Structure 1
Amino acid sequence: MTVMSGAPPAPPEGGQHRRPIIAAAIELTARSGWPSVTMARLAELVGVSRQTVYNEIGSKAALAEAMVAHELDRFLTVVDAAFEHHPDDLIEAFYEAVRSVLELAEDNVLLRAIVSASHGAAPELLPLLTTDAGALLARAKVVLAERVRPYRLPLSDDQVDVVIDLVVRAVLSHVMQPSDTPARTADSLAWVATRILGLAAVPPLRHS
């Protein structure tokens, strides 16, 4: 499955049935695996015709991308909230954003289905979070860059972009394969990010 590369626009809203179809696909994937997801089955679950599903979604590959984009919106919402909570403290904003993302990942049914081969979903969907994750990464970096730039940083925009790329890729890695609690991982990544960003006052690790 090949995913678009580059910085994509936000997922299209589509018609009134698009979101229910995507939600049904996520639930079905988590419960029965990706191979069980068919346009006919989704039509039955949502209560629409199979043609409506095709009109709203397109191909099954497009459905997979839409599912990942749908869940990405949820993760980016908690990132936005973290920066809203700490408009004058980048360290705290980073910490809350990363912790919230990792906590959300722990209970995300689609993510768990993708990373678990026992669900039968990994072979087809795993590339969307690994080798074909370009669209996901690009969108996450755009959102984070918009949030970070208002802070006064002693770096150029290009340098900030490098840091953001590192942070986003590191967070995705921990989402896919956690190595510690969300709080400890967030503490470590926030500390590293703020050190690289050259902030004058960098507090010690919370969980050292």
Structure 2
Amino acid sequence: MTTESGWSGVTMAALAERVGVSRQTVYNELGSKEGLAEAVILRELARFLSVVEAAFDAHPDVLVDAIRAATYGVLELAQDNKLLHAVVSATHGADTELLPLLTTHSQSLLEVAKAVVTERVTPYDLGLPTDRLEVAIDVVVRVVLSHVMQPSGPPAETADGIAWLAGLALRGA
């Protein structure tokens, strides 16, 4: 609905009608339009994180290769994601309501993403103290999200650069 008519065109009543339930059911499930926004963002995040998990599964022995594949997959998915483009390109009025959930108020998004990446990185024997590993994961997740929001080059090139940088940090351990 957001890609069709913008976030301002999405109402709880219209959503209820679209999915065939009562408006009260939607409110009971989501609480408010802000709750709906968070649910939409977290659903999209789950799609992106499934790409991350698949990349780590495909590269169980070389962390830098897993980082490269995960970054590439995320950036490829972002490139063609109509909802993400609708949110990022909204520049006026109520259509900017979703943008803070991806940027300035993105704490839950960051926490979920970092938790998944931490879980996937932990099996690699890095010899890094926990506090340093947390810093490295935080930086990589934030850089990837930054490129999702505002790409600066083709996904493959960006993924190579992020993997190179991660490899330097990991070798510096």
On the 8 A contact 2:8/2:95 being kept in 1, the answer is no
Aligned equivalents of 2:147, 2:86: Cα separation in 1: 16
On the 8 A contact 2:64/2:163 being kept in 1, the answer is yes
Match of 1:114 in 2: 87
Between the aligned residues of both structures, percent identity stands at: 62
Match of 2:45 in 1: 72
Match of 1:37 in 2: 10
Match of 2:62 in 1: 89
1:125 and 2:125 equivalent? no
Instruction: For residues 63-98 of structure 1, give each alpha carbon's deviation from its aligned partner in whole angstroms, at most 9, with x where no partner exists.
Output: 000000000000010100001001111111010000
On the 8 A contact 1:75/1:104 being kept in 2, the answer is yes
Match of 2:119 in 1: 146
C-alpha displacement of 1:199: 6.9
Unaligned runs of 5+ in 2: none
Unaligned runs of 5+ in 1: 1-27, 201-208
Bigger fraction of residues in helix: 2
Aligned equivalents of 1:174, 1:122: Cα separation in 2: 21
Aligned equivalents of 2:18, 2:92: Cα separation in 1: 20
Aligned equivalents of 1:122, 1:41: Cα separation in 2: 16
Q: Output the TM-score relative to the length of structure 1.
A: 0.80
Match of 1:172 in 2: 145
1:101 and 2:74 equivalent? yes
C-alpha displacement of 1:154: 2.9
- Dislocated runs of 4+, deviation >3 Å: 118-122
Aligned residues: 173
